[in-house]
Amino acid sequence: MGARNSFKNINTYANRGMTLEADLKASNDYYLVNDIAVIYKKPTPITISKVNYPSRVEAVIKEGYFKTPSTTDYNGIYKGKYIDFEAKETKLKTSFPLNNIHPHQIEHLKKIYKHGGIGFLIVRFTVINKTFLLTIESLIKFLDENKRKSIPISYFEKYGYIIKDKYNPRVDYIDILNKVYFGG
């Protein structure tokens, strides 16, 4: 059983030590280079309080602070539609704690949905190596029907979509969007 698991791990992609963020960067690069979609991670919001200018061309930030983001991390365009999502990893095996996502990020996704965009979460359970896409519609349904502070993995299995490991793109969430929103 131990041997079988080791063998299995060698042949999966998510166990190569890549983070979800790195996998998404590689996937978004793939979509961009192949002219499939234009989706970027937003830079980390920072308040800069001190900057040095040692030369004309180069400024060095000497003091700055991380800000709470107002929006989700990822957005862009696919087949003319506005795409917006947040991506998170958890080491838990049975549920995803909602405190991983800022309340205003959930509010942001609700606004995107209301304005006709496609919003979702990508959640990776790192220990069991499963990555799910959960649409904002299903997230809203969960929040409306539950007072729980975490989403059980059974909810992802029932209402979410599993994103299988691939070589390229590593996290092919566009494939899921095709099935869910574009009749593909």
Q: Which residues bind a copy of itself (CB under 8 A)?
A: 32, 35, 37-38, 40, 42-46, 48, 58-67, 70-71, 75-84, 108, 111-112, 114-117
Diameter over CA atoms, the chain: 62
β-bridge pairing 118-125 and 74-78: unpaired
**Closer residue to a copy of itself, CB minimum distance, 16 or 62:** 62
| Helices of type H across 36-102 | none
Smallest separation (angstroms) from a copy of itself to the CB of 103: 16
Q: Give the total residue count for the chain.
A: 184
Smallest separation (angstroms) from a copy of itself to the CB of 119: 10
Smallest separation (angstroms) from a copy of itself to the CB of 43: 4
| Helices of type H across 39-171 | 103-114, 136-145, 153-159
Smallest separation (angstroms) from a copy of itself to the CB of 63: 7
**Closer residue to a copy of itself, CB minimum distance, 8 or 42:** 42
Question: What is the Cβ-side half-sphere exposure of residue 127, based on CA atoms within 13 angstroms?
Answer: 8
Smallest separation (angstroms) from a copy of itself to the CB of 32: 8
**Closer residue to a copy of itself, CB minimum distance, 75 or 138:** 75
**Closer residue to a copy of itself, CB minimum distance, 46 or 127:** 46
Q: How many CB atoms lie within 10 A of CB 78?
A: 19
Please choose, from the candidates 101, 96, 113, the residue with its C-alpha nearest in 3D space to the C-alpha of residue 156. Answer: 96
**Closer residue to a copy of itself, CB minimum distance, 83 or 151:** 83
Question: What is the Cβ-side half-sphere exposure of residue 91, based on CA atoms within 13 angstroms?
Answer: 0
Smallest separation (angstroms) from a copy of itself to the CB of 38: 5
**Closer residue to a copy of itself, CB minimum distance, 12 or 49:** 49
CA 26, chain centre distance (Å):
13
Residue 171, both tokens: 């996290």
